[in-house]
Amino acid sequence: MCGIIGYVGYRDAQPILIEGLKRMEYRGYDSAGIALMQNGSTQICKTPGRISALENKLDWNGQPSHIGIAHTRWATHGAPNEINAHPHADSTGRISLVHNGIIENHDTLRTFLERKEIHCISETDTEVLAQLIAYFYKGDLEKAVRAALNDVQGTYGIAVMCTDEPGVLVAARMGSPLILGVGKNENLIASDAAALLAHTSQVIYLSDGEIARVTPEEFRTTTLDAIPVTKDVEEIEWTLEEIELGGYEHFMAKEIFEQPEALRNCLRGRLDEQHGAITLGGITKYTRELVRARRFILTACGTAYHAGLLGEYFFEDVARVPCETEYASEFRYRNPIIDDGTVVIAISQSGETIDTLAALREAKMKGALALGIVNVVGSTISRETDAGIYLHVGPEIGVASTKAFIGQFAILTLVGIFLGRRHHLSQPAAHELLKALARIPDQMSEVLAMSDQVRLVAERYQHANNWLYLGRGYNYPVAIEGALKIKEISYVHAEGMPAAEMKHGPIALITEGMPVVFIATHGNQYEKILGNINEVRARGGHIIAVATAGDRKVADLADQVFYVPDCPEPLQPLLTIIPLQLLAYHMAVLRGCNVDKPRNLAKSVTVE
Ligand code: G6P
């Protein structure tokens, strides 16, 4: 979704802002723009397309500007063209603004402004806000922003500047992330920590309903009602190297290949395989509530939802606690029943997905203990949960989630074993699972070593436009995650489903040569899946199977086999997903798709 950056300080703002935009490119966008102030006037340059197009278009006079704002846009109101791109200015050009979010009452505000003879030139909700701030401006930008925001309904992360106050940036937040980067004689504002890291690791996370007035030397934070708020300066843990490519061609490849290390980091300090113990610092103070919980609801979107679905299988199978997983977008609006003893766990890589955040708030409002499994430290979801567990898998930049999925499920297995021990799981059984979990990173490396083999298969099927992904039990969520991967980055139509469901309709799609991916590892439904493979074969489908190392039966039935090392069935998804990630990756590369920034998609979905 949209990315925002603002700079005020002693250096030239332009390269800092452009570099910051590039760091946020991965979030997904369709147009970009920059506003720089010099000698009391603001110049705005914007364009549809990439940041490089904006750079080419920038025709600057060579004079440095010490204050500016910039934006990458993911269109919500109005087409992704130049006029709708941000920054937006008021009719006099005095106020300029970048915005992430949606002003829901923009029509009402537009009518109000029109009655005052103030006319907008773009279709955006954002320009309305710029005009409204200018309308309220009487010599104090912070006051004008506050007055305007008090009339606004919706979500926003904004950065605003005014030619009458050339050393001041004003930022405000409601529902869209905004971080203040604290430097020496310079300060920054951004919607994403990645845009700040090159300059500072000292940050302040603004909360909803807060406004910051930022100058090169200081910042002041207040509420929408002008009550001062004291904020802690926190340290970002991620390094610049971690958010760079490190020799890989794409972030997705880097993130797939660093999964063994990511999993080790995720498990470090939490899993003691020698003694069979688990330490989950973030949630231990709620152990009593967790043990007494009567029901768990896991809620998330996209890939995180698939990890949640695996968590549901694991919680019920291993921990023997009732659990259901629900799309956050459904949960938030369907007035769910949350009785006493319900624990809701929100799962999110970014910690900013608006539907997941809203689901969490709904759960809290109804009295549930609300926990989070989140990757981005300090993100909104992580701050709004009662307690939680960070993934510690490092920054994920590729839009298609890979290592975060591994981390999310790994954390769920730890929570599941932790709960299981307090219910029916014996110490030896828990110990066996933990020992197996500790072996997974090495086994992952074995699976990754077959990347070239997977590429050959991708080459063979690169022109196929319809795929089915089928699995049973734990392999079913893996199937739908595999299908999602190939859809989102290769633009191939793929459907994932429980293998048995195929017979209730999708089998009609199977024609000679259609690729059908089966996740067919050893487990309690192994014989059943062999039956399903035969059904597809009988109709001419081509079988691409993920199977347990050495399995001859599957090899005899399949056209292609990817072997994964043996491990306990509940942990297999940590291995079986890898060939499917690789398949999607190689397909996308072969089909010439933009792997890290697939069309129409965004890394962090901050609108409904
Ligand atoms: C977007 C991303 C997906 C991700 C989903 C949920 O759709 O493209 O990769 O799984 O959002 O994101 P979250 O940050 O909440 O895990």
Q: Whose CA is nearest to atom 4 of ligand 1?
A: 302
Q: Residue 194 has what DSSP assignment?
A: G
- pLDDT of 349-407, one tens digit each? 999 999 999 999 999 999 999 999 999 888 899 999 999 999 999 889 888 999 999 99
Q: Residue 452 has what DSSP assignment?
A: H
What ligand 1 atom has the least distance to the C-alpha of 302? 10
Q: Which residues line ligand 1 (CB under 6 A)?
A: 301-304, 348-350, 353, 356, 399-401, 601, 603-605
Distance 538 CA to ligand 1 centre (A): 37
Determine the Cα–Cα distance for residues 499 and 472; give it in Å rounded to an integer.
Answer: 6
Distance 402 CA to ligand 1 centre (A): 10
What ligand 1 atom has the least distance to the C-alpha of 301? 6
Could you tell me whether strands 387-390 and 369-374 are parallel, antiparallel, or unpaired per DSSP bridges? parallel
- The residue behind tokens 């089966």 is 518
* Predicted pLDDT at 36: 96
Distances (CA, A) of 386 to 118, 179, 339, 345, 457: 45, 22, 17, 10, 46
- pLDDT of 132-167, one tens digit each? 999 999 999 999 999 999 999 988 999 999 999 999
Distance 18 CA to ligand 1 centre (A): 25
Distance 600 CA to ligand 1 centre (A): 13
Q: Whose CA is nearest to atom 8 of ligand 1?
A: 603
Among 350, 357, 385, 599, the mutation site with the greatest number of ligand 1 atoms within 8 A of its Cβ is: 350
What ligand 1 atom has the least distance to the C-alpha of 601? 8
Please provide the DSSP assignment of 461-510 as one string: TTT--EEEEEE-TTHHHHHHHHHHHHHHHH--EEEEEEGGGGGGTGGGG-
Active site residues: 2, 603
Report whether 206 contacts 383 (CB < 8 A). Answer: no
What ligand 1 atom has the least distance to the C-alpha of 350? 14
Q: Residues in the chain, how many?
A: 608
| 3-state per-residue secondary structure call for 34-93 | EEEEECCEEEEEEEECCHHHHHHHCCCCCCCCCEEEEEEECCCCCCCCCCCCCCEECCCC
Exposed, middle or buried: residue 247 (CB in 10 Å: 0-12, 13-18, 19+)?
exposed
Q: Whose CA is nearest to atom 7 of ligand 1?
A: 302
Low-confidence ranges of the chain (pLDDT < 70): 1, 27-28, 60-61
